[in-house]
Structure 1
Amino acid sequence: MPDFSPVDYAIPAFVVLVLAEMLWAWKRRPDAYEPRDTLTSLALGLGSTVAGILFGGGALLVFFAAYEYRLFDIGWAWWAWALCFVLDDLAYYWVHRTGHRVRWFWASHVNHHSSQHYNLSTALRQTWTGAFTLGFAFKLPLVLAGFHPAMIAICAGFNLIYQFWIHTEAIGRMPRWFEAVMNTPSHHRVHHATNPRYLDRNYAGVFIVWDKLFGTFEPERAGERIRYGIVRQLGSFNLLWSVFHEWIGMLGDIRRAPWRHKLSYLLREPGWSHDGSRETSDMIRARWRARTTRENEGEKKVSIQNPIAVEGEAA
């Protein structure tokens, strides 16, 4: 059984790439990095590593127990690695999508989106509480199918390494064929945006084809400035608040809610409220689309009534 952690070997490359991007930002985009934000990202990454050491073993124990009931002995052939990598990425898509659509999982995932800056250090904002959400259960079908837990862990490590480089504004668009199949900085900028058009889109880890297949793909639009972060921005660089603020908010909502709505604050989408006092991403997008439609219809009416004036304004 291989005993190999690809992420450990990638850490020096992560450091070099962050420093290189800082140099690029110093010359081209001074606003790309903010010292307190970067320190928070680094601290979140360090804390996530510690949490993984302390609690990650629980998931492996479950995997090894489930492996005893596998349907097939897939083994370690080269094609098994390739198939495992693809299927692991599919599992990642669904756990990631659930992380945005179910508040219990969002409470753990939100810290990855909490920065209002988008740079390589943002990729280090990983969860401290992921083990408690039991999100690893999404990969149990791979174990039961016959993929060894160590193989799954190694493939997941390479998946995480791939996702590091797409957290940047230093790269515009990749070649069209690459953008069509793979997740890229352009696609992932959309995922981290709070623009109504972009909310809850592009969940892919490595292969953007999953979003295209399951109807969650949205291309980056030229000329539309992206606003990063979360709908209700943190407004703080406090490390512990960054980690636990959504857990605190969720538990507070559950405590205050009528009994018949308590479970909904755990399992419904972020932003849902029983009294309609808040908005989900779907509600925000619907309101934006309705406003955009009204504005477009208004422009069409003006164009029909006074085409010469409109042409003059355009000129």
Structure 2
Amino acid sequence: MKAGEVSELRNTGKQIVVFYLGCVAAALLLSLGEFQGARRSFVMGAAGYADSPAMGTGGYIDNLKFGAVAFVMFFILLEYGILRLKSRGEVTWDWKDSAASFGIYIFNGLLAPLTLIYQFGLLKLVEPLAFMEINDGLIPFVATFVLAEGAYYWYHRLSHEAPLLWAIHHTHHSARTLNLSIAFRLHTLGRVVSPVAYVPMVLVGVKPEYLLAALALSLVFQFFIHTQAIGKLGFLEHSGFNTPSLHRVHHGSNDWCIDKNYGGTLMIWDSVFGTFQREIGPIDYGVTTGHYSYNPLRIMLGPLRDWWRGDFAREKVYAERAAKHRKEETG
């Protein structure tokens, strides 16, 4: 490992420690406060859920997809119609990529009951080990949402920086276009690994029900930002919330897009940790190594095979290699 990589790894480690220490401090403040409220009536009642395994990390979005497929398809078709109007009939839409995304979505749907039980069960398993107790109420829920966004930020960022995690997350970024159907293009193993990022939050007293409700709401929000149909949103681009424009940057393979904008609903953690980037030009979507496959199985398993063989690296490495090659060619 090169000296620069070691230094970057140490810096990332320090930032992660600072974040989770911040979670401890926030939990301590909340545990000392007198925040009272009906947890189930405030969060579960509003979302229409009971305290069950269905409230897994992707529970809300899964119910959205399976319980209201027509609702989701309506927005996908609406997006396509808007793009046709904006481009006067010439739409850059890869239906093969969308078909691959739906194939992955169906596969994940078949395994959803098992993954949701695992996600919910893991956090409930560590809940008795919490060394602080946070009361119920609006303020604790809002605090949970903000901190959960931070934990999501770090899991998402590591999914781009750590080769094995990138081999899993590569599935989501392998599409060469960006539209709402790409929101479903998620590797099944991501559902197995991602809850680990939230275990420290439960250990400091964050309620799993609050945490999972916050994550589910964030996933629903993220469905709507996977689009090119919506341009920049004026003052909202500076509001601290994620937007389609900011998320387009995250899906770009341009040099100025790589390793940027990891936030889910909130962009404050990108600003805090130096990965925030505005949309400043045309974006090339997909991964730096080009088109991977239209086969859902190869999209999910191919990067893992390449990683196992030692022939897989994060996007930044490929971008640096390409830049070095261009420099050598130009003399």
**TM-score range for the pair, normalised by the shorter chain length:** 0.7 to 0.9
What's 2:113 paired with? 53
Number of residue equivalences: 268
User: Aligned runs of 1:1-16 on 2, under 5 Å?
Assistant: 2=44, 3=50, 5-8=59-62, 10-11=64-65, 12=68, 13-16=71-74
Q: Note the C-alpha offset of 1:62.
A: 2.2
What's 2:294 paired with? 237
What's 1:228 paired with? 285
Q: Note the C-alpha offset of 1:217.
A: 1.2
- Of the three residues 210, 215, 226, the one matched with 1:151 is 210
What's 2:24 paired with? none
The 1:51–1:120 alpha-carbon spacing in structure 2 relative to 1, beyond 3 Å, is same
Check if 1:21 corresponds to 2:65.
no
User: Aligned runs of 1:149-228 on 2, under 5 Å?
Assistant: 149-221=208-280, 224-228=281-285
User: What letter is aligned with 2:122?
Assistant: V
Q: Note the C-alpha offset of 1:282.
A: 6.5
The 1:178–1:253 alpha-carbon spacing in structure 2 relative to 1, beyond 3 Å, is closer
What SS is found at the alignment partner of 1:167? Answer: coil
Q: What is the root-mean-square deviation of aligned Cα atoms in Å?
A: 2.4
Check if 1:280 corresponds to 2:283.
no
Structure 2: distance between partners of 1:83 and 1:74: 11
Which range moves more in the overlay, 211-220 or 23-32?
Answer: 23-32
The 1:83–1:284 alpha-carbon spacing in structure 2 relative to 1, beyond 3 Å, is farther
What's 1:37 paired with? 97
Q: Is the 8 A contact 1:71 1:146 kept in 2?
A: yes
Q: Note the C-alpha offset of 1:147.
A: 1.9
CA deviation profile, 1:282-315 (whole Å, cap 9, x unmatched): 7259759x96xxx9xxxxxxxxxxxxxxxxxxxx
The 1:56–1:105 alpha-carbon spacing in structure 2 relative to 1, beyond 3 Å, is farther
What's 2:314 paired with? 270
The 1:155–1:7 alpha-carbon spacing in structure 2 relative to 1, beyond 3 Å, is same
Structure 2: distance between partners of 1:55 and 1:8: 11
CA deviation profile, 1:238-294 (whole Å, cap 9, x unmatched): 11011111101011127xxxxxxxxxx7xxx526xxxxxxx7057259759x96xxx
Q: Note the C-alpha offset of 1:112.
A: 0.6
User: What letter is aligned with 1:6?
Assistant: Y
User: What letter is aligned with 2:83?
Assistant: A
Give the share of equivalent positions with the same residue, in percent: 26
TM-score, scaled relative to structure 1: 0.77
Structure 2: distance between partners of 1:130 and 1:235: 19
Structure 1: distance between partners of 2:319 and 2:135: 43
Q: Is the 8 A contact 2:288 2:319 kept in 1?
A: no
Q: Note the C-alpha offset of 1:123.
A: 1.1
Check if 1:66 corresponds to 2:126.
yes
What SS is found at the alignment partner of 1:228? Answer: coil
Structure 1: distance between partners of 2:130 and 2:122: 13
CA deviation profile, 1:73-113 (whole Å, cap 9, x unmatched): 22431112111111111100000000000011111111110
User: What letter is aligned with 1:21?
Assistant: E
What's 2:6 paired with? none
CA deviation profile, 1:112-136 (whole Å, cap 9, x unmatched): 101001111111111212244x332
Structure 2: distance between partners of 1:286 and 1:234: 19
Q: Note the C-alpha offset of 1:51.
A: 3.2
Q: Note the C-alpha offset of 1:41.
A: 1.2
In structure 1, list runs of 5 or more residues that go unmatched: 255-264, 272-278, 296-315
The 1:252–1:49 alpha-carbon spacing in structure 2 relative to 1, beyond 3 Å, is same
User: What letter is aligned with 2:178?
Assistant: Y
User: What letter is aligned with 1:136?
Assistant: P
Structure 2: distance between partners of 1:249 and 1:159: 31
Structure 1: distance between partners of 2:119 and 2:265: 22
Runs of 4+ in 1 over 6 A off after TM superposition: none
CA deviation profile, 1:11-60 (whole Å, cap 9, x unmatched): 33322211111222333343332221111111222222333322332232
In structure 2, list runs of 5 or more residues that go unmatched: 1-39, 45-49
User: Aligned runs of 1:98-117 on 2, under 5 Å?
Assistant: 98-117=158-177
